Copies of this chain bind each other. A is one copy, B any other.
Amino acid sequence: MLTERQRMILNVIIDDYIRSAEPIGSRSISKRSDVSFSPATIRNEMADLEELGFLEQPHTSAGRIPSIKGYRYYVDHLVRLSEVNDQDVQKVRSFFTEKMNQMEQIIQHAASILSNLTNYTSIVLGPETFTNSLKHFQLVPISEDAAVAIIVTNTGHVENRTISIPADMSMDEMQQAVNILNTKLIGVPLARLKSKLYTEVGQELGRYAEQCEKLLGVLDEALKSEDDHRVFLSGATNMLTQPEFKDVDKVKTVLDLLDETPTIMQMFSSLPSGIAVRIGTENTHEAINNCSLITATYSAHGHQLGTIGILGPTRMDYAKVISLLDLLSKDMAVLLSRWYK
């Protein structure tokens, strides 16, 4: 529905605006070497594009800026996904060579790289653990009435909680209960631990029932609080460098949002697999209605594990961010596959 020339002009306007953050006038477009029309012609086209909803005018005597619809069209039809800058590839690759044998470390590092290379804010959602299965369960006594409960999953994820031991129970008894749980529950997905316990293991435990209840409580809690540890942020303060956030109040609502792990979890929970772009008001959370969120899911061995995302102003370098996310999500998959074979 847009003519070739209109598409070209829209493309140029968005590219220029992404770089300059200032409204683009007809004259500056006309002066470009790849454009051979006079300002007047450009103006006519721009007026049409505005009528169609792809451009906006901050005020009468200013140039045009892209609207949400304009960005959307750009992302869907115009953007040329450049190869990632060689230098940037280099940095990502060197990320590979560093040996990191902690999954958390890899993920946090990936977030750092993303925010460094883009100067936006990166958000990475780590793998969920409740689909993992129990590999090992253990109690380590640390005093007369306290012990550390340790849970290891098949992916090597470790959760631990300090629990206090009831006075009327010996350490031996406790240990026995743990042994029973271990023999019966290894291999069971964490999400089904509790139900599994009640239906199949309940009777065997006999007098340990009460203690098992307690242990299960610990397990349960471990799974809940783990949400907090799935979200990795980096470069939140990059928001402050964006000219659209020179107003302190605006940036505060965004930064406050980033502090709320549950909200981020919710934002990321409903994303499709692959690359997704949410522009401005397409985001349901009002605080980021003048931001764009670009996300890419990563997976290993066919299992979708988590999501990496970049949050920046709507005036974002979509081409760069998309290709970078694409690159990194694939690389992460390779790195993480080690834990998921």
Complex: how many Å from CA A250 to CA B142? 47
Give the contact-size bracket for chain A: 35 or more
Chain A, range 119-155, C-beta contacts under 8 Å to B: 135-136, 138, 140, 142-143, 146-148, 150, 152, 154-155
Complex: how many Å from CA A324 to CA B340? 47
Complex: how many Å from CA A336 to CA B287? 38
Cβ-defined contact, B256 with A341, below 8 A: no
**Which of A47-55, A157-165, A196-204, A310-318 makes up part of the contact surface?**
A157-165
A245 interface contact, C-beta 8 A: yes
- What sequence of 0s and 1s flags, for each residue 228-253 of chain A, a beta carbon within 8 Å of any chain B beta carbon? 00000000110011000110110110
Complex: how many Å from CA A87 to CA B337? 51
- Contact partner, A256, options B164, B221, B237, B255, Cβ 8 Å: B237
Which A residues are closer than 8 A to B by beta carbons? 101-103, 105, 135-136, 138, 140, 142-143, 146-148, 150, 152, 154-156, 158, 160-164, 218, 221, 225, 236-237, 240-241, 245-246, 248-249, 251-252, 255-256, 259, 338-339, 341
Nearest 6 interchain pairs by C-beta? A158-B160, A240-B252, A142-B156, A237-B255, A148-B156, A136-B140
20 A-B pairs within 8 Å (CB atoms) are namely A101-B163, A101-B218, A102-B162, A105-B225, A135-B140, A135-B142, A140-B152, A146-B156, A146-B339, A148-B152, A148-B156, A148-B158, A150-B158, A158-B160, A236-B255, A237-B252, A237-B259, A240-B249, A246-B248, A248-B251
